[in-house]
Every structure is written in structure tokens, then in C-alpha cells.
Structure 1
């Protein structure tokens, strides 16, 4: 299916690994030029070079920490210098947390707020004017099922992802008049390198069967009884970037293997 994305430009944060890299590959396969954003330059350069070679698109990497205003400014300069603007913004950068409300210090709350919420706010402020000039665009926020169905051990992650979901809804009403569609995607269990790393650490002292550990997590939480792959999730992102999803505005979509327990 031709999704009509060839020649578009997409900015993807957290793009050097996992979900972000899978989304980048999915868009590149549709002919989308890419601005890959992450903190580690070596991984970015490798990913950009591989995507260009595999799909014949132009891909550039910008090493920046989008949890800071300075990092976002670097992204905005890179987008302007490289492409003169963008048609698609994928706010994907993020990470899990582990704490209790009673013990977590202010600094930890502030870090996750800046990473999950303010990065999206600042990037929207900086990139939406260019989208308007280009005739419209798409902004997608990668939140989490935890925005709606929280896990007890990561209250800061739960709260900031819920805020990102509300920001997505609020922004959508502000920019749809400029033909910019904003939506939020809430994944469930997706088999990222972070999940594998955590599973290996947790099973290191008990035989190292990290795959069995992850299967237990899937059995407990997902009726489909498995983790999703980054590529399965990326397929949904790519569809939402296209005109095939032209009536999708201000919504939240769960890609979770049935993990959500509410309507």
C-alpha cells in the first residue's frame, strides 16, 4: 500500500534504538527523509548511514538531550539547516522509572517532567510554525499504557506519561485548524533492549533465564501472551503519519495486546 509519504521529512526523538529506530525504518521504507535525535552520536551516525544505504533516503543524526532547552534548540537548528522544516514529529524519547512517591526527590520528578513533557512542548513550539508553512503535518506522542493503567513501582513515569497524553489532546485542538494532526499512542509490552537488559539483570542470580522471566511478564499482563515487537508498533506509527489516518485527531490509541483492562 502506498501511504503517500515519499518526500516527507520526519523528526524522531529517541531514534537510535528500540521503538524510535523501528519507526525510523518504517518511515524510511515509505520514502521519508529523517532527522534522528538521540544522545549518543556514534549510534546515531550508524543508524543514519544504514537507513540511507538501505532505503535511499536522506537521514541525518542530531546528538542532543531533548530533556533540556539547549538540546531542543540544537534539534531545531539541525532541522532548519538540514531540511528547512519538517512534516512529521515523533516524540518518542523516554525511559522508565523506579521509585516510591514518598522517597523520590524533586530532582527526579523534574527530570522525567522535562524528558516526557517539556521536550514535547518545546519541540511543538519550535516545529509547528514550519509545519504551517509547509501546509500541515503530523505530531505523534509515544506515551504508555501506564498513562491510563499505572504500574505501582514507577509513579513518576505514570504521572508524566499521563501528562503527555493530555498535552497531546490539548495541542491537537490548537493546531488542527492549520492541518496538523496530533495523536497519542499508548504501547503495552514492547520488547525493547531496555526490557531485555532489565530481565537479564533480574535473573542473573537465579540461573539467567531472562526469556522465561519476560514470558512470565507477558503471561501476567497481556492476553495475547507475548511482547509486541518494535516493528509491530512502528507499523501503527507509520499508518498514523499518512493520509490514510486523515480523520484521526486528538485521540489516544492503545497498541497493547489486550493489556488495557478498561473500556
Structure 2
């Protein structure tokens, strides 16, 4: 199926590893030029070079912290300088947390708010006007199943991802008249390097069977009894970025292997 994406420009955050990198690869396969953002400059530059060489698209790496207004400004400026703006924005930067509400300091709440919510707000303000001028566009937010079905050990993650989902719905209503479609993705278990790192840490005292640990997590939470690959999630996201999904507006899509326990 031709997704009609060739020649478009996409801005992706958290793009050097995991889901962000898989989505970058998926979009590049469809001929999309990329502005890739992440904090680790060397890893980001390597990923950008490899994607460009493999798929023949233009990739622009911008090392920045989108949890800050300065980082967002640098990313928006880079997209404008390289391509005159963007047609697609994938807000993906984020990370899990581990705390209790009673003991977590204000600073931790603020840091996750800036990363999961304000980055999306600022990037929308920075890129949506240019999308409108180009005739329209797509904004996707990578939230989490935890936005509606929280895991007990990460209340800050749960709350900020829920806020991101609500922001996405409001943004969709505001921008639909400009031919900009906004949607949210709520993944379940996805086998990212962060999950593997956590599994190795938590299984170290029990013999180091990190794969067994992850299988137990999947058995407990996902009826499909396995983690998704980042590429499986990326396939769905790339489709939503395309004109083939032209009637999808203001929606939240669960890609979770059956993990959601309600309708």
C-alpha cells in the first residue's frame, strides 16, 4: 500500500533509540525526510547517518532537551532552517518513573510535567503554524496505557501521561480546522532498551534471568503473553501519519496486546 508520504518532513523526539528510532526507520522507508531529536548527540548522529544511507532520505539530527523551552526552540528552528517546517510531529520523548506520591519531591513532578506535557505544548505552538501554511499536517503523541490503567509504582508517569492524552484531545479540536490531525497512541508492553535495562537490574540478585523476568511481566499483564517489538508499534504509527488515516482525528489508540482491562 502506498501511504502517500514520500517527500514529507517529520520531526521526532526521543528518536535515537527504541520506539522513536523504529518510527524514524518506518517513516524513512516511506520516503519521509526526518528531523531527529534526542539528548545524546553521538548516538543521535549515528542513527541519523545510518537511516539516511539506508533509505536515501535527508536526516537532520538536533541534540537537545525538549523538556526545556530552549531545547524546543532549537528543534523548531532546526526544522525551519532545514525544510521550512514540518508535515508530521511525533512527540515521543519520555521515560518511566519510580516513586510514591507521599515521598516524591515537587522537583520530580515538575521534571516529568515538562518532559511529557510541556514539550508537546511547546512543539505544537512552534510547528503547527507552519503545518497550516503547508496545507495541513499530523501530530501524534506517544502516551501510554498507564494514562488510563496505572501501574502502582510510577504515579508521576501515570499522571503526566494522562495529562498528555487530554492535551492531545484538546489540541485535536483546536487544530482540526487547519487540516492538522492530532491523535494519541497508548502502547502497552514494548521491548525497548529501557525495559531490558530494568529487567537486568531487577533480576540480578535472582540469577540474572532477565528474559524470564520480562516473560513473567508479559504473562501477568498482556493476554498476548509477550512484549511488542518497537517495529510493530511503528507500523501502526506510520499509518496514522499518512493520508490513509485521514478520518482519524482526536482519537486514542491502544496498541497493547489486550492489556487494557476495559472496553
Provide the secondary structure at the position in 1 that maps to 2:185.
strand
Q: For the residues of structure 1 that align with 2:24 and 2:137, how far apart are their CA atoms? A: 17
Q: Distance in 2 between matches of 1:157 and 1:223?
A: 23
**What is the match of residue 202 of structure 2?**
202
1:206 positional shift: 1.2
Distance (whole Å) between structure 2 residues aligned to residue 224 and residue 249 of structure 1? 28
Where does structure 1 lack aligned partners over 5 or more consecutive residues? none
3-state secondary structure, aligned to 1:205 = helix
Distance in 1 separating the partners of 2:158 and 2:192: 18
Q: Calculate the aligned-residue CA RMSD, in Å.
A: 0.4
Report what 2:24 is aligned to: 24
1:169 and 1:107 map into 2 onto residues whose CA distance is 27
TM-score (norm 2): 1.00
Matches within 5 A, 1:235-246: 235-246=235-246
Equivalence for 2:120 = 120
Partner of 2:81: 81
Within 2, Cα distance between the matches of 1:262 and 1:93?
A: 27
- Which structure 2 residue ranges, 5 or more long, are not aligned? none
Take 1:243 and 1:74, find their aligned partners in 2: how far apart are those partners?
A: 28
Per-residue CA deviation, residues 134-154 of structure 1 (Å, 9 max, x unaligned), is 000000000000000000000
Aligned to 1:190: 190
Farther-moved stretch of structure 1 (17-26 vs 72-81): 72-81
| Whole-Å separation in 2 of the counterparts to 1:176 and 1:43 | 36
Residue in 1 aligned with 2:133?
A: 133
Q: C-alpha offsets along residues 59-113 of structure 1, whole Å, 9 cap, x if unaligned? A: 0100000000011011011111111100000000000000000000000000000
Count residues with an aligned counterpart: 263
Dislocated runs of 4+, deviation >3 Å: none
Task: Report the Cα distance in structure 2 between the residues aligned to 1:76 and 1:137, rounded to whole angstroms.
Answer: 15
Match of 1:4 in 2: 4
